[in-house]
């Protein structure tokens, strides 16, 4: 059985898009013989083959070897479970009258596209074999299902203060703040500019903050280059040596794809253990995710057990 997590956006799936519509949509496809019937909802052979083809394509990305017969069988079972689960969840959305607003959908679409250039996003859709409309339908279905799970499963799960205390005490070593530095930052486009700034710092003609305000291209430049406090790993690895500087120490010139950089460390906080109050939200999140995940799995099994599911294994066997 595929692992499904309680509130996760379900993967892009051609079958999801088509299964979530009314069952008559399968009759519009070639090869409309049903391979799975879930509570009277028919999933056509053509729908199944489209999803299976996509899963094979994704599987091949991770290796150049030909897919073995055992891997083919595993993929078919994976798609079968996915089809059944997606259909059951979509049916529950309709049965419970779950809906979302256009504003919620627009916000989710915008968030899903964030970080992609127009070309790279379209290439991703092409790789998935999706039109933009199909992708939007999938995002909408994901929102509906997440709301369904939130209403029927997550809302019934809670964590007590004593449970959080117990978890924190048993896992205290996991909750600590790494060493932090507070640094000022200057970023410019050319090496010539950064060397000129470096000379001005060395001659003490102007202080670091004044030079950051005057020259830095970073968004924090208007604040004198103040980046605030940050831990190792929160910044690009090129900046790791900043942690080796003493207070009031200035870094050597650092070159990255974004430009040329200088840092000045103005304060340091040593690594330390976090108190329960500092860790409370994180502890609650960890425990809720575990409990909600378990509750969702149980709920989904019960949903499946009380459903009528017919699988035509003779057709499944023929798919290559």
| Burial grade of 115 (CB within 10 A; 0-12, 13-18, 19 or more) | exposed
Chain-centroid distance of CA 297 in Å reads 20
Q: Is 15:86 a contact under the CB 8 Å cutoff?
A: yes
Is the pTM above the cut of 0.75?
Answer: no
The pLDDT value given to residue 60 = 67
The pLDDT value given to residue 298 = 96
Half-sphere exposure of 273 (CA within 13 A, CB side): 8
- Using a pLDDT cut of 90, give the percent of the chain over it: 59
Provide the mean pLDDT of the chain: 85
Is the pLDDT at 1 greater than 50? The verdict is: no
How far apart are the C-alpha atoms of 283 and 274, rounded to whole Å?
12
The pLDDT value given to residue 31 = 57
Q: Please write the tens of the pLDDT for every residue from 170-200.
A: 998 889 888 889 999 999 999 999 999 999 9
Q: Which of 85-99, 111-125, 167-181 has the lowest mean pLDDT?
A: 111-125
Is the pLDDT at 26 greater than 60? The verdict is: no
Structural domains of the chain sorted by starting position, each given as residue range(s) with its CATH number in brackets: 14-157+288-318 (1.10.4030.10), 176-273 (3.10.50.40)
* For residues 129-143, average pLDDT: 91
User: Does 119 or 287 have the greater pLDDT score?
Assistant: 287
- CB neighbours of 272 closer than 8 A, spacing ≥ 6? 176, 177
Half-sphere exposure of 82 (CA within 13 A, CB side): 23
């Amino acid at each position: 059985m595929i692992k499904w997590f309680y509130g996760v956006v379900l993967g892009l799936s051609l079958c999801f898009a088509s299964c979530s519509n009314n069952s008559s949509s399968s009759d519009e496809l070639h090869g409309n013989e049903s391979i799975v019937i879930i509570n009277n909802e028919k999933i056509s052979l053509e729908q199944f083959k489209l999803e299976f083809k996509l899963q094979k394509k994704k599987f091949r990305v991770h290796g150049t070897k030909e897919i073995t017969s055992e891997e083919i069988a595993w993929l078919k079972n994976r798609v079968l479970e996915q089809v059944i689960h997606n259909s059951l969840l979509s049916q529950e959305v309709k049965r419970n009258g779950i809906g979302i607003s256009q504003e919620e959908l627009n916000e989710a679409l915008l968030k899903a596209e964030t970080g992609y250039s127009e070309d790279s996003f379209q290439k991703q859709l092409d790789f998935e074999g999706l039109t933009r409309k199909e992708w939007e339908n999938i995002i909408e279905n994901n929102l509906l299902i997440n709301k369904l799970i939130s209403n029927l499963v997550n809302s019934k799960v809670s964590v007590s203060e004593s449970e959080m205390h117990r978890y924190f005490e048993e896992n205290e070593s996991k909750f600590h703040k790494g060493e932090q530095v507070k640094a000022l930052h200057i970023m410019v486009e050319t090496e010539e500019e950064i060397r000129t700034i470096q000379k001005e710092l060395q001659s003490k003609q102007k202080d670091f903050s004044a030079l950051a305000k005057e020259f830095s291209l970073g968004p924090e430049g208007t604040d004198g280059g103040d980046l605030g406090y940050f831990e190792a790993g929160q910044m690009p690895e090129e900046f790791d040596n900043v942690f080796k500087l003493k207070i009031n120490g200035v870094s050597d010139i650092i070159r990255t794809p974004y430009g040329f950089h200088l840092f000045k460390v103005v304060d340091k906080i040593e690594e330390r253990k976090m108190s329960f109050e500092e860790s409370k939200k994180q502890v609650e999140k960890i425990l809720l995710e575990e409990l909600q995940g378990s509750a969702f799995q149980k709920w989904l099994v019960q949903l499946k057990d009380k459903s009528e599911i017919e699988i035509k294994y003779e057709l499944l066997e023929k798919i290559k």
